[in-house]
A and B are shown apart, each in its own frame.
Chain A
Amino acid sequence: MSDVIEYTKKKLPANWNKTGIVLFALGLILVILSFMTDVSRSSFNAVVFLTFLTSIGLGSLFWIATEYLSGAVWSTPFRRVAEFLASLLIILPLAALPSYFNLHDVFHWTHLEVVKGDAYLSAKQPYLNVPFFTIRTIAFFLIWIIFYFYITRNSLKQDTTKDQNLTKKNLRWSAIFIPIFALTITFFSIDWLMSLEPHWFSTIFGVYYFAGTALASMAAITYLVVKLNEKGYFVEGLVSDHYYSFGALLFGFLNFWAYIAFSQFLLIWYANLPEETLWFLQKWEGNWLYFSILLIIIHFVVPYFALLSQPAKMDPKRLKFMSLWILFAHYFDLYWISMPTYSEFAFMPGWIELGFIILTIGVIILVFNWKANKENLVPIGDPKLKRGIKFRL
């Protein structure tokens, strides 16, 4: 391989930054207004906001680690997109603040007088108490940021030094990261989503959140890569063989999510124990019934058939549309998990929800834009890059 890859750094389209700022400002105003009108409801939305950003950021770091561990070459040309998205991890502590300041509104187990009279909650108290909760959350953020920092720093260094040992170093970091990732994401989901309903427990819940995380972050990566590739940001460009791999991963994780979600439901439905069924019963009453049915359709049925055939997995238009769809489905999923605790019966989303969605989009665009304009969009020093660009099925 004699030829060197020629890469000249291009700025992202200027309107991206503008869109990001407008959405962020609009979202922020709406969120502040909503905190002024309805603190409790806004805090629940803030939990969805936090867990969604975690999904995208942490999921992207997971895909980066997976690339190093599996020695994949097809994903090398656009690995930077995942790295930029992973930088959402840095702002997670900020994103956690709005709900953290209103823990009392969100988490039933923070009410000590209730815990005292409740056998279940007092048994769980050694784990579910505010100081330990705070320590855990900070520890998770720290661990993720450390891994993010080292892995992306090595990757960036490679751009100038072209040192192949850095790939090996990152391989080691990834190998350590994966088991820690499995544990931290499980406990994070237990802390922030499962303990919303502190009487309820499901041993598969961590996997359920992971399935959504991997799917949503892959969808975010897919959307950005396809969009940037159409504007010619990836040197020689990615082809349908790369697209097919995106489509296949999205399709695979859609099925994985459905499999896990159904496994969780089936066992609880079969055993029919009151302490387990309450979580699903809540979501099968009032307006939540329509949300639950919609979730099955939005998160599984429609994308399943939309991505089933081989040509559909390679079609850039279809991929862009479906990845946005899946991102929305994941937000909807998290919303469906958390909100029934806030309001058990007749409930309709309103402008408060819209504000949080706008803020989420704005934050993701701004963070991505900031990183993408600062650093190379292609890891030009990576030894796998050449093979990645020439990747054919």
Chain B
Amino acid sequence: MSEKILYSYTALFDTPNQIIKAAKKVKEEGYTKYDVNTPYPIHGMDAAMELKPSLLPYVALVVGLTAAISMIIFLWWQNTIDYPLNIGGKPFFALPAYIPVTFEVTVLSASIATVVAMLFFVFKFPNNVHPLHDTDYMKRVSVDKYGISIQAEDPLFEAEKVKSLFNSLGASSITPIYYSDELVNFKPKILEPKFISFLIILFIVVSGATYITLNKLLFLPPYSWMMVQDKVIAQKTSDFFGGGSGMLTPVKGTVARGFLPYKFDKKPELAAKELVNPLMPVKKNIELGKTKFNIYCSPCHGYHAEGKSRLRGQFPIPPSLHSDKVRNWSDGRIYHVITEGQNVMPSYAHQLSRQERWAIVLYIRALQRSLNAKESDLQ
């Protein structure tokens, strides 16, 4: 450290009235690089120093409006183009529902942008040192004094003149402030390897601790009671039957109730020939078929089996079931398609019992008949 460089001359005052008068006087003398430090905001100080309004409100306005508009556009795109969902019968573009979200996003982005702009443009981040830091002057004005400091950079600055000006205003003490070594040789410390590695370690510790807390610590005994249960867990060894298996294989030559194997695997022609509908075409069976058809078949085939899909083109549209081809199929052939699926249509053997499948066949027959009624139906 060779020679101290002067930053500013500071003066302390005892009352708020004095500091306002001092600020006005300093302004009148034509100084531009000066600042006032007080323990609390003083009414009328802005006017005394003739401060210009801050530019930060414009940052808030621009960012806020941008956020509001982009949020509305995003919600419109998401709800009408990308993933339209019918929610409570409301239109896809439901403006009232978007307003709270848009409002929150507007406020959030505007406030964050204002804080970030303040840090970078006003506080000159990552610079975090200032000549006034850690001086006796700053300690006093943080407690009970009102201070003013005129910088040496000011074109009008002359040490003697400034001192006499402060004296004439009734300052209780006048001190020069010098740049510290730290400030003269200031380098941003934010990219130092030590700091970066500290951040990385902090990240690992915090995320690791979060993981352990949420996944392990919370389930230490006695809080493990929901996980320890007397039941078979799939893919886990079990001592119940011996041999480590949780389940026993069925005895050879037996089948479970209601699980008769389907004999016509991949043999549609044989199924068409040999299978006969066991259900009678009575009202009860047809209504069961209607219910099940409307649940499982109608989303793609349409309510009247005319191929009018409700899936908005998200699944290939199947052909009509009123074609000559399907009308000429036997009951067993249709049953086979429901059981095994065909082309992109999957098997419905797991969703529908045998009886229900046959009931659907009956209902499809009824639908077909409705478009191709026989002479006898009209009487």
Q: Which residues of A contact B (CB under 8 A)?
A: 241, 262, 265-266, 269-270, 272, 308-311, 391-393
Contacts and interface: CB of A to CB of B under 8 A. Distances in A.
B153 interface: no
B96 A265 contact: yes
Nearest to B20: A392
Interface residues of B, dominant DSSP: helix
A262 B99 contact: yes
Contacts of B99: 262, 266
6 contacts: A265-B96, A270-B96, A270-B97, A309-B57, A311-B53, A391-B43
Nearest to B61: A308
B269 interface: no
A392 B43 contact: yes
Interface string B88-115: 1100000011011000000000000000
Nearest to A393: B43
B270 interface: no
Interface size class of B (residues with CB under 8 A): 10 to 19
B88 A269 contact: no
Interface string B54-87: 0001000100000000000000000000000000
A302 to B, nearest CB: 16
Contacts of B44: 392-393
Interface of B: 43-44, 46-47, 53, 57, 61, 88-89, 96-97, 99-100
Nearest to A271: B88
A309 B53 CA distance: 11
Contact of B46 (A272, A309, A311, A393): A393
A393 B47 CA distance: 9
Contacts of A262: 96, 99
A265 B61 CA distance: 27
A241 B43 CA distance: 10
A386 to B, nearest CB: 14
Nearest to B89: A272
Contact of B57 (A265, A310, A392): A310
Contacts of A392: 43-44, 47
A311 B97 CA distance: 34
Given A241-B43, A270-B88, A270-B96, 6 more contacts: A262-B96, A266-B96, A266-B99, A272-B88, A391-B43, A392-B44
A375 to B, nearest CB: 30
Contacts of B43: 241, 391-393
B61 to A, nearest CB: 8
A392 B42 CA distance: 9
A280 to B, nearest CB: 11
A272 to B, nearest CB: 7
